[in-house]
């Protein structure tokens, strides 16, 4: 039986991180960011953690990174605020380079695989922290490769969300992996960096109400301003990690009465939202929202071209009062999710882009659970030449819910979200409650603090 440390040992850095610039000249210009890119809600980096059984030479990885950055040159640039009144973000494509850090940690891949069931703050040492005065000063791409005692490695990447979405991160990582293994092959998808297909109209035409957003003042529920998001941020949080197999998801779908044809995402998103609201024990009269990412590349007219390398997703919004959500069966929530998805037409998305010209508009997080889907993006299939990862997931857990891939089981989904310590047990109970006999063999990870 392995005796595991409660937290990860320290990383040892033999050298200072280096800047990896594109290996050949790249365009030097300011890159316009669309209103979907330039949202305050997206001003953070998407941080992935990969565990590999065998390491790849850092020199090989740095060389292939310099080669792939020729095609993905905005990731080697720097974000900056434009000189206009609205201070809109843009990318200075200057080829300055991505940060690449190398480290060693006295732990084995097997030991970390056991610890991967228990997210905690110590994982953050696996991602090099760039000392910066502001978000804009952090390079769009930061990589840390940590070699392990057993000959394995952990690779962590931080990719700025204003530059691309989950589809874009997967596209880049697979391009880097291919450049590592087969540098002479053409890239399977050529990135398209121009964002003008998502420019707002002039004049703006906001033709729909957009419940995903709110202007600066928090909205009112009755006579009192209530902000669940603020409450959650103020609490000691515990990350939960629950794996749903195909049979579990089928069991959830069968909870819809009357019967309703739905996707795995629709069923699991509705169930997670309902369990979260029940666990928080909110007043039955409050209105709650579910915000979830929806790829709109094929919903626009004309469709966004393949390889588009910007944010091509918007937030779908399901909303209802607490009473209707928690006292109804699965049908009610699933139907709301489906209606939110079907409302995202070309006209609706164009109206949303126009709305975001108003910089006083922000994502309404006050009464919302946010779900981001990392499964079905191929993130778990990344292979730099020594095999696919033993584990793939986020560096840390947060109050935003992630639907994660499960290595070795394409149909399964791991639901990870941090909840207040005081409601942790209730949340897990409600997540498992309606599965009945299907809960046999149900996988709930041991949890640590994040």
- Cis before 122? omega within 30: no
Residue 432 makes CB contacts below 8 A (sequence gap 6+) with 242, 439, 442, 444
Q: For position 225, what pLDDT does the model report?
A: 66
Considering only CA atoms, which of 389, 372, 371 is closest in space to residue 380?
Answer: 389
Catalytic residue among 92, 227, 358, 383, which? 383
Torsion of CA 346, 349, 350, 356, to 10 degrees: 180
CA distance 345 to 6: 48
Considering only CA atoms, which of 31, 30, 32, 38 is closest in space to residue 355?
Answer: 38
Ramachandran angles phi, psi of 434, nearest 5°: -85, 5
Q: For position 449, what pLDDT does the model report?
A: 28
Task: Tell me which H or E stretch contains 81.
Answer: strand 78-81
Averaged over successive runs of 10 residues, the pLDDT of the chain (450 residues) comes to: 65 94 97 96 96 97 98 98 84 98 96 81 92 92 97 98 97 98 93 95 96 75 68 92 95 93 97 97 96 97 95 98 95 97 98 96 96 95 97 93 95 96 96 66 41
Tokens read off for 179: 């450049």
Cα–Cα separations (whole angstroms), residue 361 to 24, 123, 320:
41, 34, 22
Residue 196 makes CB contacts below 8 A (sequence gap 6+) with 32
Q: Which residue is listed with tokens 């006209």?
A: 347
Residue 156 makes CB contacts below 8 A (sequence gap 6+) with 47, 48, 49, 50, 126, 127, 143, 144, 146, 395
383 part of the active site: yes
Considering only CA atoms, which of 213, 186, 182 is closest in space to residue 60?
Answer: 182
Are 343 and 192 contacting, i.e. CB atoms less than 8 angstroms apart? no
CA distance 7 to 118: 10
419 beta partners: 238
Considering only CA atoms, which of 239, 241, 232, 235 is closest in space to residue 449?
Answer: 239
Catalytic residue among 71, 161, 174, 248, which? 161
Tokens read off for 217: 């003042």
Torsion of CA 325, 330, 331, 336, to 10 degrees: 50
381 part of the active site: no
CA distance 99 to 77: 11
Considering only CA atoms, which of 377, 307, 371, 344 is closest in space to residue 166?
Answer: 377
Buried b (16+ CB within 10 A) or exposed e, 394-425: bbbbbbbbbbbbbbeeeebbbbbbbbbeebbe
Whole-prediction pTM value? 0.93
């Amino acid at each position: 039986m392995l005796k595991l440390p409660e937290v990860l040992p320290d990383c040892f850095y033999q050298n200072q991180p280096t800047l990896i610039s594109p290996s050949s000249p790249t365009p030097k210009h300011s890159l316009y960011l669309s209103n979907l890119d330039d949202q305050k809600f997206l001003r953070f980096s998407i941080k992935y953690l990969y565990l590999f059984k065998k390491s790849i030479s850092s020199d090989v990885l740095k060389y292939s990174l310099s080669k792939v950055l020729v095609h993905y040159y905005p990731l080697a640039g720097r974000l900056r605020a434009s000189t206009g009144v609205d201070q809109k973000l843009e990318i200075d494509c200057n080829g300055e380079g991505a940060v690449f850090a190398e480290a060693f940690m006295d732990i084995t891949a097997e030991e970390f695989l056991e610890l991967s069931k228990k997210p905690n703050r110590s994982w953050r040492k696996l991602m090099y922290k760039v000392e910066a005065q502001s978000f804009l000063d952090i390079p769009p791409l930061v990589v840390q490769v940590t070699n392990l005692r057993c000959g394995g490695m952990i690779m962590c990447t931080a990719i700025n969300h204003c530059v691309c979405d989950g589809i874009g991160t997967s596209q880049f990582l697979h391009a880097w992996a291919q450049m590592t293994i087969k540098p002479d092959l053409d890239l399977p998808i050529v990135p398209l960096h121009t964002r003008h297909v998502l420019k707002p109209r002039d004049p703006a035409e906001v033709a729909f109400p957009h419940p995903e957003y709110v202007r600066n003042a928090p909205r009112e529920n009755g006579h009192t301003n209530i902000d669940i998001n603020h409450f959650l941020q103020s609490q000691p949080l515990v990350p939960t990690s629950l794996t749903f197999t195909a049979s579990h998801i089928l069991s959830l779908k069968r909870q819809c009465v009357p019967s309703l044809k739905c996707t795995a995402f629709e069923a699991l998103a509705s169930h997670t939202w309902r369990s979260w609201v029940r666990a928080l024990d909110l007043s039955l009269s409050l209105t709650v929202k579910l915000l979830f990412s929806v790829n709109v590349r094929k919903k626009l007219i004309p469709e966004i071209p393949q390889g588009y390398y910007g944010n091509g997703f918007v937030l779908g919004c399901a909303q209802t009062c607490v009473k209707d959500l928690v006292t109804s069966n699965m049908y009610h929530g699933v139907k709301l999710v489906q209606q939110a998805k079907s409302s995202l037409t070309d006209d609706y998305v164009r109206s949303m882009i126009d709305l975001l010209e108003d910089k006083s508009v922000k994502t309404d997080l006050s009464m919302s659970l946010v779900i981001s889907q990392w499964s079905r993006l191929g993130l778990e299939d990344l292979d730099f030449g020594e095999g696919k990862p033993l584990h793939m997931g986020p560096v840390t857990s947060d109050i935003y819910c992630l639907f994660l891939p499960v290595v070795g089981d394409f149909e399964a989904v791991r639901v990870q979200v941090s909840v207040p310590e005081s409601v942790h047990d209730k949340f897990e109970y409600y997540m498992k409650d309606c599965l009945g006999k299907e809960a046999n063999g149900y996988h709930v990870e041991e949890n640590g603090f994040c």
